[in-house]
Amino acid sequence: MLFFSFFKSLVGKDVVVELKNDLSICGTLHSVDQYLNMKLTDITVSDTDRFPHMISVKNCFIRGSVVRFVSFFEWLWVLLTKFGQG
Amino acid sequence: MDLPDPYLPGAISLFEQLDKKLLVVLRDGRKLIGFLRSIDQFANLILEDVVERTFVDKFFCETSQGFMLIRGENVELAGEIDDNIPTNLTQVSPEEFRMIEDDFLARNPPKSLKRPTAAEEHEA
């Protein structure tokens, strides 16, 4: 529940999701549910040589069970939460 | 916290992709492309006019699979496809694809996951 709330507060921010098959997807977090299934919009994938099928995908749903980790630019997030309101 | 309205979290968010062309990556790495007709909370998907796409190097080949119900647990990722994005990939026929694949594997042999035997290690 704690992590679910945390991810909900991250909605709209840019995140990098790495999957268990080494595919890492950078995109804007659009939504998240209780299983930590996620939907990203405006995605980019750096290793398109290994994952050519991802080039033409613009937004995607990721099943929570295949995620290895999610990372994001914490400094940016801190900046946004601290100074973004004013 | 400003969540979009209506907020469709997780699997239900695929409702926004209804009747769109979807790429589904399965847990075993297979890539299926079809039109999304229905979904549920487990991310069970119903796809119409499905093709399986296999890739090697800069080429891909499609085999028709018809109508499909995919059980949610096998879905790894489902993404909407934008056909306007240039991919630099060439579609080839299954026969051509087999030749390209053989040629590619001959040039780039897959790395063995087995531990080398003592004799092999001695050779190297």
CB contact under 8 A, B43 and A58: no
CATH, domain range B10-110? 2.30.30.100
Q: How far is CA B64 from CA A83, B60, B96, B98, in A?
A: 53, 13, 17, 16
pTM: 0.82
Q: What is the ipTM of this complex?
A: 0.81
Spell out which residues of chain A touch residue B72, defining contact as CB-CB under 8 Å: 63
Element (H, E) at A2: helix A2-9
Instruction: Decide yes or no: CATH 2.30.30.100 for domain A2-83.
Output: yes
Other Cβ atoms less than 10 A from the Cβ of B23: the count is 19
DSSP B71-112: -GGGEEEEEEE-TTS----EE--HHHHHHHHHHHHHHSPPPP
**Residues B83, B107: Cα–Cα separation, whole Å:** 31
Q: Compute the distance between CA of residue B30 and CA of residue B38 in angstroms, rounded to an integer.
A: 20
- pLDDT digits over B57-102, tens only? 899 999 999 999 999 999 999 999 998 888 889 999 999 999 999 9
For chain A, give the longest Cα–Cα distance. 43
Note which residues in 4-63 of chain A have CB less than 8 A from chain B. Answer: 8-9, 11-12, 19, 21, 23, 30-35, 37-39, 43, 52-63
- Within 8 A by CB and 6+ apart from A14, the residues are A26, A27, A28, A29, A72, A73, A76
- pLDDT tens across A21-78, in order? 999 999 999 999 999 999 999 999 988 889 999 999 999 999 999 999 999 876 665 6
Query: Which structure tokens are listed for A8?
Result: 């909900």
- Give the start-to-end residue ranges of the domains of chain B: 10-110
